[in-house]
Every structure is written in structure tokens, then in C-alpha cells.
Amino acid sequence: MGREKTKSGIKGRFLALPHGVLDARNFIALSAPATRLLLDIARQYCGTNNGQLICTMSALKKRGWSSNDTLIRARRDLEAMGFIQQTRLPFMPRRAAWYGITWRPLDYLPEMDIKPSEFVANAYMLTPEEIKTRHRLPVA
């Protein structure tokens, strides 16, 4: 006899965060705001849009973000620790930068400012020094 299957009552999309990410040395070293931002960025991923995730105050204000400085510091931490990688440069006045989460494959689009081969998969497993040498920033 198996267990009875019950419905949780919660409907809709969900965020799958592998234990390998949660157990990574770089994840454990993240600040609380960076951890929260990682969840807010990963929440945008729907299975076909990795590389088009945004991290702007206007988009994240409804998620409780109120300090642009904290948001910028948290984003820089996530990039430095290899959890996200920028895929498109921002341009004023209305084009936001795009990011991809590194534990999922990049869903490449020609509008991106990096080549698919420049996306560093599982970069969170590298040291911050290795990440600096492997990440190529998009060029305008």
C-alpha cells in the first residue's frame, strides 16, 4: 500500500531550486538580500525565458524591494558568486538589462549581447576569482 495522494490546495507555477544550488559554498556565503533577490529573479523563470530575467527596481518594487542601493549590491553579489549572468546590456531610457540563472540552460535569443558559448553554466560552483575570468560582460 502506498501513501494516499492529497492535493495541497496550492495552484499555479512553482520554483524548482536544486539542492546542489542550495548546498553550494557560494550560496551559503550570500547575504540575506542577495538570497532574497535570487528567489525573486528565479521566480520569473518559466522554462523558456532564461536569459530574459530582469532585475530593476520598478519590476521588483511590488515584491517588497524599496532600496535601489540594496538591490544593486545584491545583484552584484549574485553576479560575483555566479548565480546570475548578464545577457543583455541596458540602454536608457527604457531597455532593462537581462540576466540568466546559471543552473538552467540559456534560452538564447539574437537580441542578447552574449553568444550562447559565453554563458557560464553552473558558475555558482566556481570560486569568485574563476567567475571573474570566465564571465564575459556583454559589449554594446
SS3 100: strand
91 strand-pairing partners: 95
Task: Give the residue from 8, 14, 3, 23 showing the smallest Cα distance to 103.
Answer: 23
The model carries a pTM of 0.89
| Domain at 19-134: CATH architecture | Orthogonal Bundle (1.10)
Query: Domain limits of the chain?
Result: 19-134
Is 62 strand, coil or helix?
helix
> Can you give the pLDDT of all 140 residues of the chain as single tens digits?
566 666 677 888 889 899 999 999 999 999 999 999 999 999 999 999 999 999 999 999 999 999 999 999 999 999 999 999 999 999 888 899 999 999 999 999 999 999 999 999 999 999 988 988 886 666 55
